Every structure is written in structure tokens, then in C-alpha cells.
Amino acid sequence: MEATVVKNAGSHYLLSALPQWEPFPAVLRGKVRLERSVATNPVAVGDRVRYELDGPVADAMHPAVIKEVLPRSNYIIRRSTNLSRQAHVIAANLDRAVLVVTLYFPEIKLPFLDRLLVTCEVYGVRPVIVLNKLDLYRELAQEQVDTFCDIYRGAGYTVLECSALTGEGIDELRSLCSQGTSLLSGESGVGKSSVIKALDPSLDPKIGTISTAHLQGRHTTSLYEMYPLSGGGFIVDTPGLRGFGLVDLEKEEISKYFPEMLKVADNCRFVPCTHTHEPGCAVKQAIEDGAISPERYNSYLGMLEEDKKFR
């Protein structure tokens, strides 16, 4: 029998035969655990799996046994903080990744967002950027809001301006998420749980507060979990991230996953071109002409430096 992983609690899982929402408990067979030992988690939320029952029905006393993880259509992965393994799969088989950010409270870190975007490009997940908490700063920082939207829309990304508190932009996001499975991800404190609650008031994810000492988000979600939305579709909630390292990406490849750089890179005088020091570089010329934002280029340079650190 086949089902989808809808909750990952470490060594225990919940499965459901989507689109039906009837979760039941499951555990992982040791062989599967070893086969995917390159990652800290051999099974991720969104994975489609084959399972067997260990009794007449799956319950807490007799959980189903996951026998096989089926091939993934795509996934989101990050470098793990656990040094005993290389990487951690956040979620799999996604129709989109909704990347929630705020300009302030907490203050945005563009290199973090850009690493998420590059990872989406590498692993075939369509990203959507949600600029949340506009009720807190739109009147005071409209110019900064416009600049942010220009940078990322100019790079080819969808940017939704939202407020989980007032409901601004939530209808558009709800319509987007009503089809398929959407991952919600972002730094701690950006309001992912509040966005989920705004999308579907019947859901009750944990909602945290901001640490006023450092204006950093407090971790509230500790599990990877999928929720069914009352208007259709499924959403995957993830713990707030405080670091995001790239996985399996050579430094020569990084620029290919910046869409605005890829558009002009064929016009560089030298191929391959690192877009750092070479004469006749079309990417550097596009930055001078205003076609590529210096903020995005600085993120690219940071990724090249990060690549050196991990080698």
C-alpha cells in the first residue's frame, strides 16, 4: 500500500493516502534508514512511501511499517548542522515553496533568502516570496518595500505583499495554495504560523513572539508537519530556520541558479566566467546598467566564499 508522509516526529511518522486526510502512525524499517543515511532524515514530509500493516489496522500499538520511499519529483534540502551527516531534507514532492520574509521584526537577511531561492532553483521547486508583517512598517518604509519588490520581481520571482494580521494579500496566497502541496519556510519570527492561521482559521499552529532583546524570532515549530487547507490544497509547516547552507553545488554552477544572471551570462567574453574578475563580463556590466541588483550580486559573492569554507 502507498501513502504520503504528513508528519515527521523524528523516528515516528504519520501517513495519509492523499488527497484523503486520514492520518495513521508509522515507523521506519532499518534497511530504509541505512539506504538513505547520506541525510539526517531518510524520510521527509511529502515523501510517497510503500508500507505494510503490522496488525489489522494501524494504531499507536501497531503502527504501519514504511518499507520503501518512492522516487521524489523534487525536494528542498539544506546543509545540516549535524556534522555526522551531510544534509537535511526539509520536504519533498512540492508544487511550490512559499518563502516568508519580513523587512523588519526580524530584519531581513537577503543572503539567507537568496540561498533558499538558489536551492529551489537547483531542486526544481517553484518559489513564491511572501513579504509579511506589512502592517508594522509599510507607512514608515514604503520606499524599502518598493525596493525589495523591484529587486525580486526584477529577478523573475513572484512577490506577494501580505499581512497575516490585517489579511492583506492573504486571499491571493490562499488561492495559490489551494492547488497541490505548498511548503512554508523562512527564518524564525517571520510569522509563518500566523500566515497559516490566516489562510485557514481552523488550523492551530503554534504562534511565537519576537525576542525584543535581539529582534530575533523564537523557535515555535519543532516538527515538520503537513496540514490540509479548508479551501483545498495542503501546506507543510517547518521549524524556523536560522541557517541555510547549500548542498551539492559546485561554485562554477551557482550563477546558473540566479535567473537574472543566467539571462546575460552567454554574452560574457570568457566561458566559463565566474563573474568576479574577468574582463568583458556581461553580468558585471548588467549590474552597472542597473539590470541586476547589487544586493543579489553580493549574495552570489557570499555563496562563492561559503563554498570555499566547506571545502
Summarize pLDDT for 45-57 with one digit per residue, the tens: 999 999 999 878 8
Measured distance CA(88)–CA(239) in Å, rounded? 13
Do 284 and 143 belong to one domain? no
Q: Which residues pair with 175 in a beta bridge?
A: none
Residue with cell 531518510: 42
Query: Into how many domains does the chain fold?
Result: 3
Measured distance CA(62)–CA(48) in Å, rounded? 20
Predicted pLDDT of residue 27: 92
Predicted pLDDT of residue 241: 64
Read off the CATH number of the domain in which 278 is found: 1.10.40.50
* 118 located within any domain: yes
Predicted pLDDT of residue 243: 58
* 242 located within any domain: no
- The larger pLDDT score, comparing residue 61 to residue 126, is at 126
Do 127 and 177 belong to one domain? yes
Predicted pLDDT of residue 78: 82
Q: With pLDDT > 90 as the criterion, what percentage of the chain qualifies?
A: 66
Confidence of residue 249 (pLDDT cuts 50, 70, 90): confident
* 40 located within any domain: yes
Above 90 in pLDDT, residue 213? Answer: no
The mean pLDDT value for 255-267 works out to 95
Read off the CATH number of the domain in which 225 is found: 3.40.50.300
Predicted pLDDT of residue 88: 82
pLDDT, averaged across the chain: 86
Do 231 and 263 belong to one domain? no
Predicted pLDDT of residue 94: 98
Confidence of residue 242 (pLDDT cuts 50, 70, 90): low
The mean pLDDT value for 248-263 works out to 90
Residue 62, amino acid? H
Do 136 and 92 belong to one domain? yes
Do 172 and 225 belong to one domain? yes
Do 47 and 123 belong to one domain? no
**Beta carbons within 8 Å of 243's beta carbon, 6+ residues apart:** 78, 81
Question: In this structure, how many other beta carbons lie within 10 angstroms of the beta carbon of residue 71?
Answer: 8
Question: In this structure, how many other beta carbons lie within 10 angstroms of the beta carbon of residue 161?
Answer: 17
Q: Are 107 and 215 in contact (CB under 8 A)?
A: yes
* 248 located within any domain: no
Measured distance CA(67)–CA(95) in Å, rounded? 25
Do 60 and 149 belong to one domain? no
Q: Are 292 and 61 in contact (CB under 8 A)?
A: no
Read off the CATH number of the domain in which 67 is found: 2.40.50.140
Do 125 and 159 belong to one domain? yes
Above 60 in pLDDT, residue 202? Answer: yes
Torsion angle, CA of 291/292/294/298, rounded to 10 degrees? -170
Q: How far is CA 105 from CA 10, 142, 210, in A?
A: 30, 15, 7
Do 56 and 80 belong to one domain? no
Above 80 in pLDDT, residue 291? Answer: yes
Cα-to-chain-centroid distance, residue 242: 12
Do 179 and 114 belong to one domain? yes
The mean pLDDT value for 138-156 works out to 94
pTM of the prediction? 0.87
Predicted pLDDT of residue 122: 92
Do 203 and 273 belong to one domain? no
Q: How far is CA 119 from CA 76, 143, 169, 177, 272, in A?
A: 7, 28, 25, 20, 21
Pick from 65-69, 239-243, 283-287: least confident: 239-243
The mean pLDDT value for 64-80 works out to 89
Q: With pLDDT > 70 as the criterion, what percentage of the chain qualifies?
A: 85
Q: Which domain holds residue 30?
A: 2-71
Buried b (16+ CB within 10 A) or exposed e, 72-90: bebbbbbbbeeeeebbbbb
Confidence of residue 234 (pLDDT cuts 50, 70, 90): very high
